[in-house]
Amino acid sequence: MRVAVIGGSGHIGSSLLPRLVRAGHEVLNLSRGSSRPYVDDPAWAEVVPVAVDREAEDAAGTFAARVADLGADAVVDLICFTPASAQALVEGLRGRTGHLLHCGSIWMHGPSTRVPLTEDDPRHPVGDYGVAKDAIATLLAQETAAGGLVTTSLHPGHISGPGWAPITPLGNLDAGVWERLARGEEVLVPGTGAELLHHVHADDVAAAFQLALEQRDAAAGQVLHATAARAMTVRGLLEVAAGWFGREPVTRVVGWEEYRAATPAPFADQSWDHLWRSQYASPDKARQLLGYTPGEPDVAVREGVDWLRRHGDLRHLGAPPEG
């Protein structure tokens, strides 16, 4: 197939585009061209770059036509964040492209009321991002159900792996959490420690997109989780992560008020956003429909931490853990 990937140089695309090339597809990468993929791969030599500023062309009303004119059999949209942008792309591709695949987020669900979450559970999203991803998933499913463009939306958890900082056991991006665990220092834990985090390896998400792309009929009109095999509790990930450094975690459970007083506001807000939702989104539907077989979440997180160490972002730690 001829596949156009919008935003293919980011977390998911860095794994997805080489996968598609190796599978024999003709791959076009629509991006501003200002960043390199997170993972080097010789397959990138066969990817056709298409320079485009999605935000500017959306504002000008030209983006959907630009994508449609590429004559792709399928379009993978990894950087759509508003229903208006999604609707414009749908209208531009309807009748001209065989399949639109959209990257959503498990934040379309909002805080968990039961676990694991399934795609058919009632959704109660909160925050602009989650509300938008819920609305996009709904409009895409309705488009296909009405006999229009064939669409699929796939919804990852906390994407992890080499190339960027993974969400820590406290639900934030504070690299100091890894350093405190490595040195055996006390880590303040807000809440109870039983809250859930659902990481997933970027390559597992890429695999889900490839499976949906290559099994269009099975994926048509579906809303699917692209998550790890299991979720982890805050307590469990703290224990595993400390173990990478030969330590037991030194933790103290505190209330949110004390945690916020001791934590920079951006990190405290990130912790609240993740831990309050406490999500575990089942990948079983994608497994049953497409044969999706994701790995374990701690493996994905560890690869991200190892990458940070190798690139000097965790300055106070030694060599990467082995094993």
- The span from the CA of 181 to the CA of 185, in Å, is 6
* Structure tokens, 247: 């330590």
**CA-only gyration radius of the chain, Å:** 20
Q: Where are the alpha helices (DSSP H) in 61-126?
A: 63-68, 83-93
Q: Are strands 232-233 and 199-201 parallel, antiparallel or unpaired?
A: unpaired
Can you give the residue ranges of every domain in the chain?
A: 2-159+201-226, 160-198+230-279+296-310
Contact present, 268 and 259 (Cβ < 8 Å): yes
pTM, 2 dp: 0.95
For residue 35, what are the contacts with CB-CB under 8 A and spacing of at least 6?
9, 10
Whether 2-159+201-226 and 160-198+230-279+296-310 share one fold: the answer is no
Topology of domain 2-159+201-226 in CATH is Rossmann fold (3.40.50)
**Segment (H or E) for 49:** strand 48-51
- Note down pLDDT in tens along the chain; length 323 residues: 999 999 998 899 999 999 999 999 999 999 987 667 777 889 999 999 999 999 999 999 999 999 999 999 999 999 999 999 999 999 999 999 999 999 999 999 999 999 999 999 999 999 999 999 999 999 999 999 999 999 999 999 999 999 889 999 999 999 999 999 999 999 999 999 999 999 999 999 999 999 999 999 999 999 999 999 999 999 999 999 999 999 999 999 999 999 999 999 999 999 999 999 999 999 999 999 999 999 999 999 999 999 998 887 776 554 444 44
Q: Write down the CATH number for the domain with range 160-198+230-279+296-310.
A: 3.90.25
- The span from the CA of 252 to the CA of 201, in Å, is 29
